[in-house]
Amino acid sequence: MPRSVALRFEREALHWSLGIDGARDEQWRAIVFDGVQGFDVPADAAFRMPNPTPLTLRFRYDAPEGWMAQTPHFPMQMREGEQVRWPR
């Protein structure tokens, strides 16, 4: 299971920091629209969103050994200064 997630919306960008012991960047996916779409993402990064709309996302870690772990869903309103931390 991923150990930590920190999300924040700031200056028209969604920033994230994901933590799991031994994780490599290429093994993370951001999952949106109830699993309809996913994107490979690094563990620490940001995505510019100049005209944001609310969304719910989660992250998935795919281990080289074949197992995977997912975070819970995180609803974001995409308002300036909004932050989500897990676990709380």
Nearest to 85 by CA among 19, 28, 5: 5
Please compute, for residue 58, the number of CA atoms within 13 A of its CA located in the half-sphere on the CB side: 13
* pLDDT of the residue at 15: 97
Residue 67: inside a domain = yes
For residue 16, the enclosing domain spans 4-83
Residue 88: inside a domain = no
Could you report the per-residue pLDDT of 33-58, keeping only the tens digit for each? 888 899 999 989 999 999 999 999 99
Instruction: State the total domains in the chain.
Output: 1
Between 60 and 1, name the one with better pLDDT.
60
9: amino acid identity, one letter: F
Residue 58: inside a domain = yes
Residue 17: inside a domain = yes
Residue 38: inside a domain = yes
Could you report the per-residue pLDDT of 5-28, keeping only the tens digit for each? 999 999 999 999 998 766 655 689
Residue 36: inside a domain = yes
pTM of the model: 0.85
- What sign does the dihedral 79-83-84-88 (CA atoms) show? negative
Burial (Cβ within 10 Å: 0-12, 13-18, ≥19) of residue 69: middle
Q: Report the residue count for the chain.
A: 88
CB of 71 within 8 A of CB of 58? yes
* pLDDT of the residue at 20: 73
Does residue 67 surpass a pLDDT of 70?
yes
Find all residues with CB under 8 Å of 36, minimum gap 6, and list them: none
Between 38 and 3, name the one with better pLDDT.
38
**CATH number of the domain where residue 77 is located:** 2.60.40
